[in-house]
Structure 1
Amino acid sequence: MNVVAEQPWLWAGLFAYLVATLVAMWGLSPRLVGSESVQSHRHERIVLGAIVLGVLLLTIAIAVRWVRIGHGPWLNLFELLMSQLWSLGLIYALLYWRLPGLRPSAAIVMLVMWILGSWVLILEPADSYFPATYYNVWKWSHVGLGKVFLALLLAGVGLGGVMILRLTERGRRWFRAMPSDGVIDKLAWRLMMLALVFDSLMLITGAVWAQDAWGRYWAWDALETSAFFTWLLLAVGLHIRLSYKVPPWASGVMIISIFVLAFVTYFGMPYVSTVAHKGMV
């Protein structure tokens, strides 16, 4: 595989994310102070700094590719993953900075991020063609809202993972510095409520763009159907959470299930479908 200009910057950004992942995991280990076992928070600045550095390096990678091929990285799977790693890192860094209560869950979130990073490393950085239908403000609103939606889901996955892992003795020890499961559960579903807002707006702007691009608002193609089912599952999950007393671990399972469906919608459907959407997110 030939190395293109943006790849060294991409690799450097992914290395920064790897550092954030490893430091976040290391920070879960309690350390002895005198005769007591305590959990330090000093590593959190390193984690945040590494995420921000990764975002900056990925910004350079995107800019270099943009200049080289003449448009942003929005079409093939390599480009989609690179741009998603950038937006997920940016939004999660803001959440990590502003919501101290979720910081230990970075060990889960950054691990998911680095799985995506490992995937992009094995892809061919092929050039892509920018179709005329993409010159539309509604398309960019659609994409931006979708990126925020996925980042909020990912933050929820971190909290959901904590609630599941706390079923074990080791999980309770790792995440003992976090608030109670009840507090985590409320924060996770507040993120899910925000995610539903952004998902709804994403579907609306996508429909308006589809009308401008192809003369129809909705066609029930593979991607649109999967996106609708993701929205429906999220809405049902919120209804269940608000209407019934759901154990924290079950909340975690619901949140992760929603993320898995969203993941398939974003990173799978556009590339197995032959519809007009193909290659679009």
Structure 2
Amino acid sequence: MLEFGLLGPLVAYSHSGPLTLGPPKRRALLIRLLLERGRAVPLGTLREDLWPDSPSSSSVSSVQAHISRLRDVLEPGRTRRGGTSVLVREPMGYALRVPFEAQDICHFERMLKDARRLLRLDRVKEADQEVTAALALWRGAPLAEATDYLFASREITRLEEAHMLAQELRVSILITEGNLEAALLAAEELTARTPLREVAWEMLVSTLYRSGRPAEALHRYARLRELLMDELGIAPGPRLQWLQGKILRQEELPHDHAYSFSSSA
């Protein structure tokens, strides 16, 4: 059974342990095939995606050479007569026949989905365990060896957004549990990394208010308003305006407000 980690530098494992995947271009080729989830990729597409500036004849030979080396790594026990069953040549091109479940991306997405479902069912502790395990799968930037390739840009953006949603869900769970100190630290970190993301600021302002620090909460709201006006020419959205009104009137926040942070996750 092969397993692949893409939430950070590319890693691969067989039943015998970690696999040596070779030089950067070969690793990028493996990522390209993994992203197709079993679909075949034409030889010409692989060449254009990985060697866009090289002459056609030399880059085709490079693709085929790297394919051969990857087969040796992924199926070391195969024989020439027996052929290959993992990295195969099909009429449409080359395909990597491994299930999506062999990727850490699959496990991350499943655990994030389960965490949201458990939180909606008010099974907060279990939701916390799921989202914590999901975040633990991340070892660095997703598809780290493919950041300079156009073929990976959309998936990198999608994964980075999913990672942010998981972190926001984690803060939402901390607030729901009443662990305001940890929630405050996590929300501070999110606003520092994504200063124009309103949900992170809503979490920060809400947590400050729940912690008995209304003046500081209003100060952070004013800081966000200034930032949004300077950078985007807009005011905070309706959710933050509603929250500001609650704080100004010194009204208690509803219990389900913490749950609503994860509604877009």
Greater strand share, 1 or 2? 2
Q: TM-score, normalised to structure 2's length?
A: 0.32
